[in-house]
Structure 1
């Protein structure tokens, strides 16, 4: 984990199988009396050096001047707080500020040409002393490590404390630059912007956007609260806790027509009914597995919010397109890949991932969207990041064109944790701006008749924000609506080069099968002729291929192809597991191959997410130690398990989410893995997320496993039916591949 800019003595990144460190959010913005006391004591002591007795002035005067003495005193205060137990928010802020100032002072000392080498060495040694205390404190409380990352958020409180410590050291504080004009600040600079040809065609076909004649939102007329600072009290209102963070939702009466065979669960129907009733902003924070995607799509249908823009992480982009085809089949959907050469700009639903948003933000802002959904909305928590600025810019442009657009932020992160992360989300929804509550929230706060000095203000303010559209349900809260165990497929798009390579290998395998099939037809001596495809011969050819799969002479075989697909999916599967771990806590990650496990663990280590590795080559002692770490240590969020070694004999019901990074060859093997979590003692419904590589043989294998699931379930329940073997699925996968190739030729 390369997060240090100053050389601190900290443990190295964890080796596979060991527990990594779980990141903790930087300190918030609340001031603390101790932060002020550091500055006051620094000023008093700096002044005391001018009036100290003569015998005290014999020491080197330079040792008591500058920033280092102030840092030394401040770092000791942090050290003492760490030794007493959990570090408070102000303590974390102080820790981060000290690290920032140490970095700056080291750079200054290195580049100062006016001091002697001896003096430079002495200053560097003293700075190393401060850094060593920081390192020891971080080793004692590992949650502090995330504050040292280069991209760690620096809060307003941290900026203020940094300024105070600098002033206490008698140093000149650099004046902040004048902010750029609002329009310039709202438009992030992109390295490369593109406009796909399909977009140009749409703009030429419809150069004038339909005007919005709906009633404008009421303007706020602040009275009692006009001079109050309200944002920080609003955030603190959620930190204080309280009742469930869920707005009052209507009971659905009659919903709009759903596609045949589909049915909404009651908790999903409530959100759609709220959109039908005219609600237009939602922070939908249901736990993963409760169907947020379907709720968002049907809410857009109920609100007539098309065209709809959907901004998502790359790993779920394909899944959104699939869900849109499923729940809103009458609405064409298009997905932006790369520069968007293949998109349909006339589609009703446009899906784009955060990673390519910078290329398309220009034309997306002019397309005339009436709704916008941001999935995994905690991705925009850092308002300084480019993707956050792009999302906020698009939301502003959408509000400028549409009076009451549908805006939905989807996240599984609990509302009562890391409330500062929701500042940008609230701004995206229009509930606040940089400094003030928005019109609707301000009006609601005025109606309470309270101010932040009144004890009743905080629960009233919390309720006012929640009623703007916060919806938070846990699995356990709606357990009656969902099955006790479910498997959710998550299709992913492989990287362009890797995906192309795998699809080319599939084509070569299919061509080899077709050649064997044609040869068998030509050399047939039985005289039997079959009109069209000879499906019996297809199965025989597939059987020959399966029997020859262990031979290198056959080139790419089905086993090697599936392994390559697993390797290609590993990063995406690990990324999704990391998102789940942040949203809902502990997650069990299953993979078949060691290299997939290695890649996943490397991803978790880089992200500072604690994991425990459970593999077949471990001693029983080490295996049990890692299991205990996952079960008992709150810092260990993910168990990385071998599908073969950990599929049986484990009890991991401390988690309720499973990620299947690679497909099994049998439903029974898959079921055994899920049952490590879905077992006696489990108090929540279990969701297994099966990662499937779209447009590859992976999809055929998943379908085959599911088609055999009923037989396997009956056999496991005591039936005389024979459980399908792994060779059945392997054979059927080759049959499907050959049949599809022959059909494409005819």
Structure 2
């Protein structure tokens, strides 16, 4: 933010604490000095935080104090006209105020972020800062408008790409005109609310609502809806799909994690015929969206944009792109002809000055300019009554507001209410107007009858970085070593007899003996790449992604238990949580009983500790962590029993909500193969439906079967001479 500028008034000598103020500041009347104003404001903020969570007005006050404190410190340090003693005394007072700010900030990570040098000042914080200066007798000059930025710098423009597949799609339909079916503007209505500032009161209406106030639009009764065989649409999901089928087209879907927002979005798009559909998501869930599209809408081809999009299908109905690469593709995405757009983890766009927020808003504007009533869905698990000011960008994405005021249906609803912000009844009426536009919020406890008491959800992730490439190369090396052993053993045979198996040309008996020998040797030596070191490396590569997902869950659903097998995986996860500003407890095997209990108590009792990072072996038994209903399994166990024990730390007596375990699986690696083996032996399908446990297996069984599958696949892809002896 540009610093405030002040106009000097000639002919008047400043007095008191402002005697040494720069010439571009002026007093207009008597008042407190800046120090007194800062001290009083920071005490007010501290008291407010102690009484309740930080509201938008409290955050604005907090940031205003931080901004003015920073400017006052710079002024004191730059002033060389006073004595060193006076300057030291002023700095000491400022340090005291800064200490109170820091003490307040550690109670709320959102406040802590406002202290960063690059934190963007909200309009409310700027306004409050100006008020504070006026109380101190200083009249600020209105902020100068920021310099207009070019549409795209040359460096930024150079990153823009158009995949060849998209060009092929355009060439295949050279006479297909864009669909500009946007409705003609309605004739202007007399505006009784013209001149009223409405966005602030709209946001305030959510703060004023009591705890029992509804936070969900009225949804129709669920109607029968065709879903692929083997899948079932839960009643709460069917209600939203029914709303889309009935013609509703904008949704802020804020269901808690675990209630199937992805499936609801895909089926809502089907009900609204909103194809092609654009889906913008965080990187960690990009692969999962493509997988879920294949499950729920298998007749709608989906494609995922990786990097510059060389491998995308330009003819797909569903295009999935992550925030991190959106800047490269925003041009052609805007011209693709989308009839619907879904933004997952929509709180990612809360900072309207960020590039990703601007790109998302640009794309929604371009879609709405072409399509009269496109399907627009913002998905987030963040409760609506916290940080409501962050929802400005989401409301703008949905077309409910613009930069300055409500628009369209929302403005019509406010006008029809016949009230103004001066009327007490305005606030509940305005809140209901917003909710009726499409806010849908259900908690697990609200729909407990719809979902099993315990379930496991797989979240596949792509390891497409350097570590991922290294892991896939190591898997190929391990497969080649197994093939070499197989060929040597086959060549040593006196007979050319081949035993039938999966492939009639592969000796499956020999495959199992080679895999068993490999497993026996690698369990007694630590040299070379083996199945154990491979799984550890995969865990390390997944750790950051798993921690990022745990942080997303914590923001939307409260406390989360994070399990990992290896200490170095826990280390990476904890570093990621620190970087994300998420407080956590660490529960490890090398802790003393006192230290362990202290960390457990912090997670259970401290509302600010959002994640418990636990060792799967040390914390998998003997703990009561039922304060959390979401579990992240960052690494796979070798047995289903160990995995179940970890889940039961939360799924136990005292748990009031259904428990969801999110299993992070590295797609197209040994990790995915082992997950399938564990599930096939433990009856995961039955467990997901009713919580039953079926079957049991040893860790050695899974390890052996993983090597057997790896060798069999490698032999199946090898030339025939490598599989049999002629």
TM-based fold match above 0.5:
yes
Cα deviation for residue 711 of structure 1 reads 9.9
Corresponding residue of 2:91: 127
Corresponding residue of 1:32: none
Corresponding residue of 2:169: 202
- CA distance in 2 between counterparts of 1:510 and 1:185 reads 47
Cα deviation for residue 346 of structure 1 reads 1.5
- CA distance in 1 between counterparts of 2:61 and 2:658 reads 41
Does the CA contact (< 8 Å) of 2:265 and 2:342 recur in 1?
Answer: yes
Structure 1 residues 460 and 711, CA gap change in structure 2 (3 angstroms): closer
Does the CA contact (< 8 Å) of 2:454 and 2:651 recur in 1?
Answer: yes
Cα deviation for residue 191 of structure 1 reads 6.4
Cα deviation for residue 558 of structure 1 reads 0.3
Corresponding residue of 1:80: 43
Corresponding residue of 2:679: 706
Structure 1 residues 713 and 622, CA gap change in structure 2 (3 angstroms): farther
Corresponding residue of 1:513: 482
1:244 aligns to 2:207 (yes or no): no
Look up the SS of the partner of 1:309 in the other structure: strand
Structure 1 residues 526 and 71, CA gap change in structure 2 (3 angstroms): farther
Does the CA contact (< 8 Å) of 1:216 and 1:404 recur in 2?
Answer: no
- CA distance in 1 between counterparts of 2:43 and 2:73 reads 24
Does the CA contact (< 8 Å) of 1:78 and 1:91 recur in 2?
Answer: no
Corresponding residue of 1:431: 400
Structure 1 residues 275 and 48, CA gap change in structure 2 (3 angstroms): same
- CA distance in 2 between counterparts of 1:476 and 1:603 reads 30
Does the CA contact (< 8 Å) of 2:339 and 2:367 recur in 1?
Answer: yes
Cα deviation for residue 107 of structure 1 reads 4.6
- CA distance in 1 between counterparts of 2:422 and 2:336 reads 46
- State how 1:670-689 maps to structure 2 within 5 Å: 670-689=643-662
* Offset from partner CA, 1:331-376 (integer Å, 9 cap, x none): 1111111111111121111111001111111111111111000000
What is the RMSD of the two structures over their aligned residues, measured on CA atoms? 3.2
1:384 aligns to 2:353 (yes or no): yes
Cα deviation for residue 496 of structure 1 reads 2.3
1:563 aligns to 2:558 (yes or no): no
Look up the SS of the partner of 2:449 in the other structure: helix
Look up the SS of the partner of 2:406 in the other structure: coil
Look up the SS of the partner of 1:289 in the other structure: coil
- State how 1:84-103 maps to structure 2 within 5 Å: 84=47, 86=49, 90=57, 92-103=59-70
1:322 aligns to 2:291 (yes or no): yes
Does the CA contact (< 8 Å) of 2:223 and 2:239 recur in 1?
Answer: no
Corresponding residue of 1:149: 116
Structure 1 residues 190 and 415, CA gap change in structure 2 (3 angstroms): farther
Structure 1 residues 187 and 679, CA gap change in structure 2 (3 angstroms): farther
Does the CA contact (< 8 Å) of 1:99 and 1:131 recur in 2?
Answer: no
- CA distance in 2 between counterparts of 1:643 and 1:122 reads 58
Corresponding residue of 2:199: 231
1:221 aligns to 2:189 (yes or no): yes
Deviates further, 184-193 or 262-271:
184-193
* Offset from partner CA, 1:492-545 (integer Å, 9 cap, x none): 011421111100100110111111111111112466433411111111111011
Deviates further, 440-449 or 214-223:
214-223
Does the CA contact (< 8 Å) of 1:581 and 1:637 recur in 2?
Answer: yes
Structure 1 residues 186 and 459, CA gap change in structure 2 (3 angstroms): farther
Does the CA contact (< 8 Å) of 1:660 and 1:691 recur in 2?
Answer: yes
Cα deviation for residue 632 of structure 1 reads 0.5
- State how 1:311-710 maps to structure 2 within 5 Å: 311-525=280-494, 528-530=497-499, 531-550=504-523, 555-710=528-683
Does the CA contact (< 8 Å) of 2:42 and 2:62 recur in 1?
Answer: no
* Offset from partner CA, 1:295-325 (integer Å, 9 cap, x none): 1011111111111110000000000010111
Deviates further, 84-93 or 518-527:
84-93
**TM-score using structure 2 length:** 0.88
| Structure 2: tracts of 5 or more residues without a match | 1-5, 721-726
Does the CA contact (< 8 Å) of 1:218 and 1:440 recur in 2?
Answer: no
Deviates further, 83-92 or 360-369:
83-92
Look up the SS of the partner of 1:311 in the other structure: strand
Cα deviation for residue 723 of structure 1 reads 2.9
1:268 aligns to 2:241 (yes or no): no
* Offset from partner CA, 1:387-445 (integer Å, 9 cap, x none): 10110000001111111111000001111111101110000000111111111111111
Structure 1 residues 703 and 280, CA gap change in structure 2 (3 angstroms): same
- CA distance in 1 between counterparts of 2:89 and 2:334 reads 53
- CA distance in 2 between counterparts of 1:206 and 1:414 reads 44
Cα deviation for residue 607 of structure 1 reads 2.1
Of structures 1 and 2, the one scoring higher in RCO (CA 8 A, sep 6+) is 1
Does the CA contact (< 8 Å) of 1:373 and 1:409 recur in 2?
Answer: yes
Deviates further, 218-227 or 421-430:
218-227
- State how 1:35-54 maps to structure 2 within 5 Å: none
**TM-score using structure 1 length:** 0.86
- CA distance in 2 between counterparts of 1:182 and 1:444 reads 35
Does the CA contact (< 8 Å) of 1:188 and 1:386 recur in 2?
Answer: no
Aligned length: 689
Does the CA contact (< 8 Å) of 1:188 and 1:390 recur in 2?
Answer: no
Cα deviation for residue 246 of structure 1 reads 1.0
Cα deviation for residue 217 of structure 1 reads 7.3
- CA distance in 1 between counterparts of 2:411 and 2:49 reads 36
Cα deviation for residue 462 of structure 1 reads 1.3
Look up the SS of the partner of 1:86 in the other structure: helix
Cα deviation for residue 179 of structure 1 reads 6.1
| Structure 1: tracts of 5 or more residues without a match | 1-38, 51-56
Does the CA contact (< 8 Å) of 1:187 and 1:389 recur in 2?
Answer: no
1:211 aligns to 2:179 (yes or no): yes
Look up the SS of the partner of 2:613 in the other structure: strand
Structure 1 residues 129 and 544, CA gap change in structure 2 (3 angstroms): same
- CA distance in 2 between counterparts of 1:516 and 1:166 reads 79
Deviates further, 594-603 or 90-99:
90-99
* Offset from partner CA, 1:563-594 (integer Å, 9 cap, x none): 00000000000000000000011000000011
Corresponding residue of 2:3: none
- CA distance in 1 between counterparts of 2:528 and 2:187 reads 70
Cα deviation for residue 183 of structure 1 reads 10
Does the CA contact (< 8 Å) of 2:360 and 2:397 recur in 1?
Answer: yes
Cα deviation for residue 724 of structure 1 reads 0.9
Structure 1 residues 701 and 677, CA gap change in structure 2 (3 angstroms): same
Deviates further, 267-276 or 125-134:
125-134
- CA distance in 1 between counterparts of 2:653 and 2:686 reads 19
Cα deviation for residue 670 of structure 1 reads 0.2
Corresponding residue of 1:297: 266
* Offset from partner CA, 1:82-131 (integer Å, 9 cap, x none): 6646367555433322322333454566667xx46x75785466235313
Does the CA contact (< 8 Å) of 2:278 and 2:342 recur in 1?
Answer: yes
* Offset from partner CA, 1:581-619 (integer Å, 9 cap, x none): 000110000000111111111111222211111000000
Structure 1 residues 181 and 100, CA gap change in structure 2 (3 angstroms): closer
Cα deviation for residue 222 of structure 1 reads 4.5
